[in-house]
Chain A
Amino acid sequence: MSDHLDRLEAESIYILREAYNRFPNLAMLYSIGKDSTVMIHLARKAFFGKLPFPLVHIDTTYKYPEMIAFRDRMTKEWGAELVVGRNEEAIAAGMGPDQGRLLCCAKLKTEGLTQMIDAKGYQGLLLGIRRDEEGSRAKERVFSPRGQQSEWSYKDQPPELWDQFNTNYPEGTHVRVHPILGWTELNIWEYLAREKVEICPLYFARDGKRFRSLGCAPCTGTIDSTAATVDEIIEELKVIRAPERAGRAQDQENAYAMQKLRAKGYM
C-alpha cells in the first residue's frame, strides 16, 4: 500500500470536510470522468458513506451515451441527488463545435454551469481539477473565490497557508473548491486500483484504442492503446510521453485557450 496515496487521501478528505462545514449550500460537479469518480469516492469516505450534497452534471448533449448510462447507474448506486444542468437556450439555437470549439465550450459548459450556480445559489462548488492537467490549473488555489460572473482573478489570488483555507468572503462570492488539486493522473489510477472503484468503461481499450480523458464526443479523441484493465493503464502511464489532455480539441485551439476559458468560469 502506497503511503503517498494515504497522504493525498487524508488531504482531500480534510478539504471536503472543510468545504462542507463552511458552505451551507454546497454542491459537487460530476463530469462522469475518472477524476470526479475519485472525488466522489473520497467524499463518501469523508462523510462515512453519505453524499450530503447534490452532484451537478452539466449536460452539453454531446456526451457519449456510455457516459450518461454510467452516470445514471452510479448515482443510483450511491444514493446521490443528481442535478442536471443544460443551457437550453443555446442548445435550442443549435450551438455546437461547428460554430467554434471555444464558443461551444463557453456556451454549453461555462454558461450551463454559471446558470445552474445562479439558479441554485450554490456558495461552494467542489471540482475535480488537478494541477498536473495543464498550466493554468497548476496555478490554482484549493479554495478559489470567483466574482459575480464566476470569473477567476488569476493575477490576484488570495494567500492560502497550510490548511487554513480562506472562507471569509463578501456576500455573493462563489467559491470553487478543489479537493484533488495535488493529485497526478497516475495517482488517480493507482487509487482507483487500490480502492477497487468502478469507472466509466470508455477508459479501457477496445480494438486498440482508449480514451485517456473524457469529454464531449466531437472534441475528444482516443489514444492508441491496448490497456484494458486499471493495472494495464497504470503500466502504460509510467512510460507514456504525450500529455493527458492531448486528445481534448478545445485545449489545442490556440495558445492560452484553457487560461482564457477558465478565467471566465470554465472548470
Chain B
Amino acid sequence: MKHQGRIAPPGKNGREMKTAETLKIVIVGHVDHGKSTLIGRLFHDTGMIPETRVAEIAGTCERQGRPFEYAYLMDALEEERDQNVTIDTAQTFFKTDKRTYVIIDAPGHKEFLKNMITGAASADAAILLLDGVEGVQEQTRRHAYLLSLLGIRQVVVAINKLDMVDYDRQVFQRTENDIRAFLHTLDITPASVVPISAREGDNIASPGDRMIWYGGPTILQALDNFANVRAETGLPFRFPVQDVYKWDNERIYAGRVETGQVKVGDPVTFLPSGRQTEVKSIRLWPNEDLAQARAGECVGFTFADELFAERGEVLARSDDLPTTVGEIKASLFWLARNSFVKGKNYRLKLATAEVDATCVAIEERLDSSTL
C-alpha cells in the first residue's frame, strides 16, 4: 500500500481531473422484486418522464387491460411487456440537484444473468432490491455476490412491496436483518437499508406518511449520499498499449492512462518485454503537445528511441515497475454453458493484452445460487 499516500499535483491548462459529476447506478435483485418498477417510479415522481412517454406507456397498458405500469419505462421491448419480464439491461439518465445519474436496470431472471453482469460491470454503485415478504432469494444472493466480485462497494438496500403488508415494520426488520447478515459474509456494508413501496411511491422521491417509524434517507437521498468516483491519479503510472500508429514517419503509441501520471522526459519501461526508453512527447489532437498525462486520459506517446513494442504491453515508469508473473490466482465467475476444464487452453484478456492461459489448479469452488 506504499503508493496510497501520493498526492497528484494539479495539471496544466485546466486539465485537472476533478471528481466525476455523473454516477452510474445499477439496480439489481431477484426477479419480480420490482427493479424496473422502482426506476419508473423514481423518474415519474421527479417529473423526468416526458409526457409523450407517459401517454405511450398508458396506451400500451390500456391495450393490455392493466393498470399503469412504471416498469415499461425501462422494459421498452415488446417481448418484455408481453411477458412482463426484463430481458436485457437498459440505461437511462436522471438528474437531481446534486448530480447526473446513469440508471442501469439489470434483469433479475436467472436466464438473463449475462445481461445482469453486463449492466453491473459498468456501474459505480448499486441498489440491491428485495421483496420484503419474499425476503432474500436465489438471485438476491447471486447478484450481491457479483457486486462484490465486480468490486462495487457502494451499496444501498431497498426493501420493497411493504404496501402489501400494511407497511409492517417487523416485516421490514426481518428482511433487513437477513440481508445485512448475508452481505456481511461478502464484506459489503450497505450505506442504508430503505423500506419502500415502488408501486405506491413511499420513500422513493419523498418519504410519505405511511412509514413514520423509519427515519433514514429516501432512495433519492440515498443516491445523492453516494460518494463520487475519482480518477486513480495517486497510484503508480500504468498505460496498456492499445494500438501503435505508424503515420508520417513516426510511431504514436495510443491508449488510456489507467492509473497515475507521467511527464515528458520520464524514463519508462514496457512490460513484459522490458524495453526501456524516455517519453519524448504526449499527443492530444488538436491541442499542443502536453507536458504530462494523467489517469483517465486517452493520449498518444512518442519515445526517444525507436522500439517495436506492441498492443498488450504495459508502460510503467522505470522507477515504479509492476511485478511480472507467469502464474496468477484469480476468482473466476463461469458463465458459459460448457464447463471450465482444468488443463485446457483458454484465451485470457487483461487490459489490452490477450494471452493463452491454462488452469493448473482449482482450489475452491462455490455455487453462487446456494451461498
* Residues of A in contact with B (beta carbons under 8 Å apart): 1-4, 6-7, 9-10, 13-14, 17-18, 20-21, 44-50, 131-132, 134-136, 138-139, 141, 154-155, 157-162, 164, 168, 182, 184, 241-243, 246, 255-256, 259
Contacts and interface: CB of A to CB of B under 8 A. Distances in A.
Contacts of B56: 255
A10 B296 contact: yes
B22 to A, nearest CB: 5
B286 A49 contact: yes
A209 to B, nearest CB: 19
Nearest to B120: A161
A47 B14 CA distance: 23
Interface of B: 14, 17-22, 50-53, 56, 59-60, 74, 76-79, 87-93, 100, 102, 114-115, 117-118, 121-122, 242-243, 245, 247, 252, 254-256, 283-286, 296-298, 300, 311, 335, 347, 349
A259 B76 contact: yes
Given A138-B91, A242-B52, A21 B335 contact: no
A243 B93 CA distance: 13
A2 B21 contact: yes
Contact of B117 (A1, A135, A161): A161
A48 B252 contact: yes
- Summarize B's interface: helix, strand, loop or mixed: mixed
Given A14-B298, A242-B50, A3 B19 contact: yes
Contacts of B76: 134-136, 138-139, 259
A135 B284 CA distance: 35
Q: Top 6 nearest A-B pairs by Cβ distance?
A: A135-B76, A159-B114, A13-B298, A138-B90, A161-B121, A48-B285
A44 B285 contact: yes
Nearest to B114: A159
Contacts of A6: 17, 296-297
B21 A132 contact: no
A266 B22 CA distance: 31
Contact of A184 (B17, B51, B93): B93
15 contacts: A7-B22, A10-B296, A13-B298, A45-B284, A47-B285, A131-B91, A135-B90, A136-B76, A136-B77, A138-B90, A139-B88, A141-B118, A159-B115, A242-B52, A259-B77
B91 A243 contact: no
Contacts of A7: 20, 22, 296
Nearest to B22: A4
Contacts of B298: 9-10, 13-14, 17, 45-46
Contacts of A161: 117-118, 121
